[in-house]
């Protein structure tokens, strides 16, 4: 019998608009084809132009690379401008934060999040959290062979 996850009763999270998840620390915002499509539409650019101007390829296991947004010097997201410059079209990874597999791996991982909104505000149900996880599975990341 499988035990219920620690978040079975839901988790509280409300974005505090602090931009901690978007700035000052190196990281990756990996993109799916749907993400790239949303950004291309928002920016009124062809996919290839979005990739050229705003993305980079990151080495991944198995002789592949994954497409990620670039960072500005100082590690700010390429789209951060006193807030998210593409908020309505931000990638799934951004839209589902903090309900990521790595943050939900254990209660310790959740409590160690350096996010002031984690554990505060709106209660998100187990169903909502698991939908966030399922969305990532349904939208595979863009990869290419090296």
1 lies in a domain? no
Tell me the per-residue pLDDT of 12-64, one tens digit each, with 9 for 90 and over.
999 998 898 999 889 999 999 999 999 999 999 999 999 999 999 999 999 99
| Prediction pTM value | 0.90
Residue 5 lies in a domain: no
Q: What is the predicted pLDDT for the residue at 1? A: 74
Give the residue numbers spanning the domain of 82.
Answer: 11-145
Cα dihedral angle (131, 135, 138, 140), rounded to 10 degrees?
Answer: -150
User: Is there a domain that residue 72 lies in?
Assistant: yes
Structural domain count of the chain: 1
């Amino acid at each position: 019998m499988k035990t219920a996850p620690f978040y079975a009763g839901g988790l509280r999270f409300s974005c505090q608009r602090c931009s901690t998840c978007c700035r000052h620390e190196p990281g990756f915002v990996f993109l799916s084809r749907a993400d790239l499509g949303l950004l291309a539409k928002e920016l009124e650019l062809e996919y290839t132009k979005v990739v050229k101007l705003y993305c980079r390829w990151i080495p991944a296991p198995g002789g592949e690379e994954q497409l990620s947004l670039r960072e500005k010097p100082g590690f700010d997201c390429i789209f951060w401008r006193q807030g998210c410059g593409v908020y309505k079209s931000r990638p799934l990874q951004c839209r589902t934060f903090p309900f990521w597999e790595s943050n939900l791996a254990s209660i310790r991982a959740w409590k160690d999040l350096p996010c002031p909104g984690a554990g505060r505000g709106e209660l998100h149900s187990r169903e909502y959290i698991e939908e966030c996880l399922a969305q990532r599975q349904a939208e595979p990341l863009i990869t290419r062979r090296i």
